[in-house]
């Protein structure tokens, strides 16, 4: 009997942030369940965090390796300091990653790297291995990033914070978004000077990622079809396979991603509290894994939410508040009547809970697409990167909520929370329900994301078989 051919081997390289690691680990599990051999390469720092949380123990069929990120162990790697990783990793990690790939007993058929880890595309090319790129942002965010240099040349960058033209539409017309994106809505790096290293980094990474053989993106055709079509003018192939978390739930109902344990310790006590609350009565609040709030910002949100007289569940990371070791006692004491303060919560379950009626969010893409899939309207308060684009699209393009970027006063927050939770805007309620249905349908067998995912798997198998044929001839 002939020996069974080995499964195609894929190496996945996420950028070391919670919002990047989570979707790429879900992708790893989906590929593994499709009979592909998967190796995930995390940084040493994040690998230790995953191991501590048991995230690598239950990931059957997935191998985990790690490499250093070039930063000292005591580096915080949160908030604005996470930007240090952008420059340390390409310089320090690239040769180590190349050595790791070169030493593998089973050379990969393909490398899938985070779009801001584009050095992996160079490494793959040097080793004769195909590379695909994964974008953790929306298609709109990806499309805007591909035009940053054009925006610089047109004078739309830098955006001058507080200037009268922040609400003006862009001078350079980005196809498909001509009447949607204002200067205020551009990624926060667009408020920097054109020669700023962070802006130049994003421009260079976007340019380099276009050299990949395909773009994989965590969105779905029914949400962003026109923009996805534009992205196909840049990449040879685009696979819109989101919402990824819903894809996994579709394969295994009532089961979460077995390998995507949070890098932050998760608390589940909030679920019992939610079970005791009336339907659609709770505002869920979370600003993601990296945002930092000043005490002043925190107190404005708190007063606005308390004054709205709505029930709320607020996920507050231990490191959310700048220069504060703990949540202020006055905040804790004043929330006992209608609120519940938690740490890092199981967000997918929270959003899908019947008691939750709305989401006050930073509009990170994971949070946004999880909210869309769960059918929950949003109040967007973005802070940086693509969050500003997402929040604008939530209101202006998709009619899924209210964009309150650059606003942080208690009276506005109180008013907006009431508007959202009381369903005063019927078009938002209608759009939210319809897009939730389309999101769920997209990942079911025959749906757009399911078809795209199967095409991705087939493309990887073809790369594997082509490599085997070439090796046989040699």
Element (H, E) at 468: helix 448-473
Active site residue 20: yes
Could you check whether the bond before residue 33 is cis, i.e. omega within 30 degrees of 0? no
d(CA 191, CA 188): 6
28-43: average pLDDT: 94
Give the pLDDT confidence score for residue 468 in this predicted structure: 54
d(CA 263, CA 74): 16
Q: What single string gives the DSSP state of each residue in 311-369?
A: EEEEE--TT-BTT-SS--HHHHHHTTTTEEEESB--HHHHHHSTTEEEEEE---HHHHH
Encode pLDDT of 116-129 as tens digits.
999 999 999 999 99
In 3D space, the residue among 80, 117, 76, 22 whose CA is nearest the CA of residue 367 turns out to be 22
Could you check whether the bond before residue 381 is cis, i.e. omega within 30 degrees of 0? no
The pair of structure tokens assigned to 79 is: 């908030």
Which three-class secondary structure state does DSSP give residue 253? coil
Span 9-146+210-261+444-473: which CATH code? 3.40.50.2000
Which CATH number does the domain 269-439 belong to among 3.40.140.10, 3.30.360.10, 3.40.50.2000, 1.20.58.220? Answer: 3.40.50.2000
**Contact (CB, 8 A) for 345 and 315:** yes
Average pLDDT of the chain, as a whole number: 88
Active site residue 386: no
d(CA 247, CA 372): 14
Whether 9-146+210-261+444-473 and 269-439 share one fold: the answer is yes
Q: Which of 20, 230, 245, 362 is catalytic?
A: 20
**Contact (CB, 8 A) for 43 and 67:** yes
Q: Which of 69, 114, 185, 386 is catalytic?
A: 114
In 3D space, the residue among 268, 371, 270, 366 whose CA is nearest the CA of residue 312 turns out to be 270
Give the pLDDT confidence score for residue 397 in this predicted structure: 96
pLDDT band at 263 (very low <50, low <70, confident <90, very high): low
pLDDT greater than 60 at residue 159: yes
User: Dihedrals φ, ψ of 224, to 5°?
Assistant: -135, 35
Domain boundaries, the chain: 9-146+210-261+444-473, 269-439
pLDDT greater than 80 at residue 187: yes
d(CA 241, CA 218): 6
Q: What is the largest CA-CA distance in the chain?
A: 75
Encode pLDDT of 379-422 as tens digits.
999 988 899 999 999 999 999 999 999 888 999 999 999 999 99
Encode pLDDT of 331-342 as tens digits.
667 777 789 988
d(CA 392, CA 173): 16
> What DSSP character marks residue 195?
T
Predicted TM-score (pTM) above 0.85? yes
> What DSSP character marks residue 165?
G
Encode pLDDT of 381-390 as tens digits.
998 889 999 9
Q: For the chain, what's the residue count?
A: 474
Contacts of 471 (CB under 8 A, 6+ apart): none
């Amino acid at each position: 009997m002939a020996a069974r051919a080995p499964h195609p081997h894929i190496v996945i390289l996420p950028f070391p942030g919670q919002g990047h690691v989570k979707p790429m680990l879900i992708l790893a599990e989906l590929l593994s369940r499709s009979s592909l051999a998967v190796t995930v390469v995390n940084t040493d720092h994040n690998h230790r965090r995953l191991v501590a949380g048991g995230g690598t123990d239950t990931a059957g069929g997935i191998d985990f390796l790690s490499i250093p990120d070039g930063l000292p162990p005591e580096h915080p790697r949160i908030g604005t300091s996470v930007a240090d990783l952008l420059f340390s990793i390409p310089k320090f990690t690239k040769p180590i990653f190349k050595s790791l790939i070169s030493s593998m007993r089973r050379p990969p058929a393909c490398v899938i790297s985070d779009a801001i880890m584009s050095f992996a595309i160079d490494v793959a090319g040097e080793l004769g291995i195909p590379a695909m790129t994964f974008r953790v942002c929306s298609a709109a965010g990806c499309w805007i990033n591909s035009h940053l240099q054009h925006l610089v040349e047109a004078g739309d960058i830098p955006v001058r914070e507080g200037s009268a033209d922040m609400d003006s539409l862009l001078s350079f017309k980005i196809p498909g978004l001509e009447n949607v994106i204002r200067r205020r809505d551009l990624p926060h790096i667009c408020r920097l000077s054109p020669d700023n290293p962070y802006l130049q980094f994003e421009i260079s990474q976007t340019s380099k990622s276009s050299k990949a053989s395909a773009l994989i993106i965590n969105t779905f055709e029914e949400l962003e079809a026109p923009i996805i079509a534009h992205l196909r003018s840049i990449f040879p192939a685009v696979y819109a396979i989101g919402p990824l978390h819903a894809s996994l739930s579709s394969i295994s109902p009532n089961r979460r991603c077995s390998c995507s344990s949070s890098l932050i310790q998760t608390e589940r006590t909030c679920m019992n509290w939610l079970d005791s609350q009336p339907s659609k009565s709770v505002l869920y609040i979370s600003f993601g894994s990296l945002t930092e709030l000043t005490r002043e910002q925190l107190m404005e949100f708190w007063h606005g939410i308390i004054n709205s007289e709505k029930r709320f569940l607020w996920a507050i990371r231990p490191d959310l508040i700048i220069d504060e070791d703990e949540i202020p006692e006055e905040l804790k004491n004043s929330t006992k009547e209608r609120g519940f303060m938690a740490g890092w919560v199981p967000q997918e379950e929270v959003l899908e809970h019947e008691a939750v009626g709305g989401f006050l969010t930073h509009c990170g893409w994971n949070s946004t697409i999880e909210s869309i899939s769960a059918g929950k309207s949003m109040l967007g308060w973005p802070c940086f990167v693509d969050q500003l684009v997402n929040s604008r699209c939530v209101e202006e393009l998709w009619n899924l909520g209210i964009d309150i970027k650059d606003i942080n006063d208690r009276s506005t927050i109180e008013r907006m929370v009431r508007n959202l939770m009381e369903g005063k805007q019927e078009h938002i309620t209608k759009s939210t329900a319809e897009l939730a249905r389309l999101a769920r349908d997209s990942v079911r067998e025959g749906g757009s994301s399911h078809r795209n995912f199967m095409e991705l798997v087939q493309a990887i198998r073809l790369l594997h078989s082509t490599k085997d044929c070439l090796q046989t001839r040699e």
